[in-house]
Structure 1
């Protein structure tokens, strides 16, 4: 791989972000890494190629300062990985306006703002790669109790598809990374929000919550080190995919959604095409 390129990775204190930082530093790559807590980043490495940055994703000023410090330290940004995010469990009726907005602030607006701040440098270089870490839950929403999280990740997929078309003339390429279940701390209390005011009527949501917290957590089939290695591989591919699904489970769920959409299209084709003048 090209170890002269500079990576900027958000949400790097744990999970896929942390693994990505460690693999890149092991290859001699320059990495700027962000997290809410600077202390959570400082134990990762003392390598001179490593720049830990404390960032408040809800503050565009904080994001702007992080991007400026990366440029000051390394002179450029070649690859942006928008990885920061968290899951919010709860039915739509249970979740408050604040809980949903907080989820969007981190998962969507933090991504928007980091990308906005980095794009002028990539545009000036006429090159760059942007990896937006979404989820299979951004492609199929068949996850009861995850309406807020699915909404944020569907937003990430939509904005990424449009962004890819917008920045193509500048030599900038965008890839949506959609993992299935990977064995990280993503389902732990630090990355999984639960509703402040749960409603007993939503039995299926409580069952989903318990399954994710008790059965799935720690037993996910995906290997995060292999996922990270694949992302690094894609950074050097001349024509990377717009959609990169990771995990056998993601592959199967994506095809199930595609087949369901195709079935609806064909079953209701007469009504669909009859609406033209």
Structure 2
């Protein structure tokens, strides 16, 4: 391990499982003190596998430092204590990874307005609020990094006439990702604008999405990943997030990035295991 993040403090939302847990582990094993944020704090309290307590145990077993912060990011009052609690424990914030996301995959005409509002609240408003709340601490500490997790669903379906047998068209027809995609598109545009605004504070902000599907618990649950999908290991997303959380803010900010493309651009063609001790076997891109 290189300890690239020694002395840094990171907040990772949606850290109980999947990509968020992977990023939290990777940052912790590079020396960051990590605030793990999600609704599922204890094992067995969600229908999905994974919890903050289990991620924390993994990190602590490898000598890392972390705290667990239970919060429903759809609720402003529950979001508002995340940054203060992190600062109280670790003295500041340098990195914010806005990974938590929510959606109800239905066609737009079927969606209840409460679900539409919740999708925007978690996917757009929460990242905006957490970034704003962390900014004063980042300024005090000389700069910082924000990584907003996006999605390939922002890519537009082809226009009519439609081939309903084509995979992406069928995905939009059957699974209804349009509202989720709209929030991620909003997140990307917001990020690009924030990058200009935050540059004077030496704060970098980028979006990051996987090139291929990642077999996370959430993706499996909602049926967006199947056995035929081309898969990207969660370690690749973690490696890309590490780069976006450690490169000079003046050099890498305001980008809408895909994980493997970013790593190739940086001359990286292998990824590390989440503990940072080995190269991930049998994965060269």
TM range (shorter): 0.7 to 0.9
Q: From the CA coordinates, give the structure whose radius of gyration is larger.
A: 1
| CA apart distance, 1:220 | 4.2
- Given candidates 244, 248, 252, the residue that maps to 1:240 is 252
Aligned to 1:92: 108
Structure 1 unaligned regions, length at least 5: 193-208, 252-277
More deviation, 80-89/156-165:
80-89
Structure 2 unaligned regions, length at least 5: 43-50, 158-167, 265-285
- Residues 1:43 and 2:54 aligned together: yes
Matches within 5 A, 1:104-123: 104-123=120-139
| Matched position secondary structure for 2:109 | coil
| CA apart distance, 1:112 | 1.7
Looking at structure 2, the residues matched to 82 and 153 of structure 1 have their Cα atoms a distance apart, in angstroms, of 12
RMSD: 2.1
More deviation, 239-248/166-175:
239-248
Aligned to 1:29: 32
| CA apart distance, 1:246 | 2.1
Looking at structure 2, the residues matched to 58 and 153 of structure 1 have their Cα atoms a distance apart, in angstroms, of 16
Q: Deviation per CA, 1:134-176, whole angstroms, max 9, x where unpaired? A: 11223x1325221101111011001101111111111111111
| CA apart distance, 1:24 | 2.4
Aligned length: 226
Matches within 5 A, 1:160-179: 160-179=191-210
Aligned to 2:164: none
- Given candidates 130, 134, 145, the residue that maps to 2:146 is 130
- Given candidates 182, 185, 192, the residue that maps to 2:214 is 182
Q: Is the 8 A contact 1:17 1:83 kept in 2?
A: yes
| Matched position secondary structure for 2:156 | coil
Q: Is the 8 A contact 1:89 1:149 kept in 2?
A: yes
> Which TM-score applies when normalising by structure 1?
0.75
Q: In proportion to residue count, which structure has more helix?
A: 1
- Residues 1:148 and 2:179 aligned together: yes
Q: Is the 8 A contact 2:22 2:235 kept in 1?
A: yes
| CA apart distance, 1:43 | 1.8
Aligned to 2:276: none
> Which TM-score applies when normalising by structure 2?
0.73
More deviation, 239-248/223-232:
239-248
